[in-house]
Structure 1
Amino acid sequence: GGVEDEYGVPLVGPSGQLLDKALWSVGLTRDHVYVTNIVKCRPKNNRTPTLEEGHHCADIHLVKEIELVQPKVIVCLGKVAFQYFYGRAASIMRNRGKWFTWRGYDIMPTYHPAFLLRQTGHELVESKWQVYYDFKAAVEKAKAAMPDYTYQSPEKPDLLAQYAALKESRHW
């Protein structure tokens, strides 16, 4: 999105703020987990990237990131991320919350925060609970693999303040 383009950091706008609340609710903060994008640049008119765009960009950059980070668990936020790891077009609605394996990594697909921001009423409440339980399952699996790792800071980090200098350095 636009805010992410300004800062050069994934998920720091409204979607990112919602993500931070969801992570906090399950005992995670973003300064203790790795967050990245499948597609590293925003498509025109902020449209959802195509499956082909996701594959092209991820095959170039994401695979290298994963090799460097060596995550214990990968949570896919939304359809584009899910379909990249799943390897084909498939419904995020039918597959969210279901574990699968990609190149030896445990993958959990769930809804993207932007999807939650578009929901209202009962659908919003239901979707938020689903994401909460998906994140809880991911935390349990990560803690089983790395029980001594610190997953949460004592206070929620303010990402916009944290990345303000980066934002300023990006304006020429």
Structure 2
Amino acid sequence: MQFNQLEEIAAAVQTCTLCPLHTGRVQGVPGEGPTDAEIMFIGEGPGYHENRQGRPFVGPSGQFLDELLALAGLQRHEVFIGNVVKCRPPDNRDPLPDEIEMCTSTYLMRQIELIDPKVIVPLGRFSMNLFIPGAKITQIHGQPRRINGRLIVPMMHPAAALHQPRNRELIAEDFRRLPDILARADSIDPVDPAPRSGSTPSAAMPPPEPPPEQMRMF
């Protein structure tokens, strides 16, 4: 299935039955933000509050994310925020590999194509593994690297600071560096990490291309 607009993806998510996660769905959470966002944040999946409101990062982690965005001189309406999976995993369990593959290949990768952000910020290990399989978020957080033509800046998930307060300043410092990374996005050209044996998710990431003209938000 091929989507030409973000609104089409948002509508499809609400009726999706491609994986078992739909059985616990109150509302799908396709993501939100401008279609020409320069920065795209990708979390793990909806939680309790997100499942009911249909919006990403509206619980305690979302409140902290708003604080972090402010440290970077950003507001929600300026960035796109989404997740690896669009429906809440039961009991907040980790999303399963098949669920991740189905949801990202159908929806997330197409969102990346349409938005064509300058910088992608994976929040946490599940979204990081889409682009840098097998890496440790504790070792590479905040370090920009170009993969398949896209600038990826992995960061710890905001929930990591809620569970382990010592991570709070680490995450905050990474966000403070975002404006500089964005300003230098076109000139940053780190060497791509070597492919890891048996890991192919990053190869599926769409390369940058001019997106269709869209100026609406959802």
> Do they superpose with TM above 0.5?
yes
Determine if the alignment matches structure 1 residue 66 to structure 2 residue 112.
yes
For 2:85, give the aligned amino acid. Answer: V
**1:47 equivalent in structure 2:** 93
Bigger Cα displacement from structure 2, 96-105 vs 38-47:
96-105
**C-alpha deviation, 1:54, in angstroms:** 2.5
Bigger Cα displacement from structure 2, 94-103 vs 70-79:
94-103
Tell me which protein shows more helix as a share of its residues: 1
Aligned partners of 1:75 and 1:107 also within 8 Å? yes
Aligned partners of 2:71 and 2:175 also within 8 Å? no
Change (3 A) 1:9 1:99: same
Change (3 A) 1:51 1:84: farther
CA distance in 1, matches of 2:151, 2:185: 11
**2:135 equivalent in structure 1:** 90
**1:2 equivalent in structure 2:** 48
- Uncovered stretches (5+) of structure 2, i.e. residues with no partner: 1-46, 187-217
Residue 76 (structure 1) aligned to one of 113, 122, 144:
122
For 1:35, give the aligned amino acid. Answer: I
**C-alpha deviation, 1:98, in angstroms:** 1.9
Change (3 A) 1:34 1:102: same
For 1:16, give the aligned amino acid. Answer: G
CA distance in 1, matches of 2:169, 2:137: 16
CA distance in 2, matches of 1:54, 1:99: 24
Change (3 A) 1:95 1:53: farther
Change (3 A) 1:137 1:55: farther
Identity rate of aligned residues, in percent? Answer: 38
Change (3 A) 1:113 1:68: same
**1:22 equivalent in structure 2:** 68
Residue 168 (structure 2) aligned to one of 96, 103, 128:
128
**1:162 equivalent in structure 2:** none
Aligned partners of 2:72 and 2:177 also within 8 Å? no
Give the alignment's Cα RMSD to 1 decimal.
1.9
**C-alpha deviation, 1:113, in angstroms:** 1.1
Change (3 A) 1:34 1:47: same
Residue 154 (structure 2) aligned to one of 105, 109, 116:
109
Deviations 1:27-53 (A, max 9, x none): 111111111111111111111223443
**1:154 equivalent in structure 2:** none
For 1:131, give the aligned amino acid. Answer: I
Change (3 A) 1:54 1:101: farther
Change (3 A) 1:139 1:52: farther
**C-alpha deviation, 1:8, in angstroms:** 0.6
Aligned partners of 1:54 and 1:81 also within 8 Å? no
Deviations 1:36-77 (A, max 9, x none): 111111111111223443233111111111111111111111
**1:118 equivalent in structure 2:** 163
For 1:70, give the aligned amino acid. Answer: D
SS at match of 1:35: strand
- Uncovered stretches (5+) of structure 1, i.e. residues with no partner: 147-165, 167-172
Residue 59 (structure 2) aligned to one of 13, 19, 22:
13
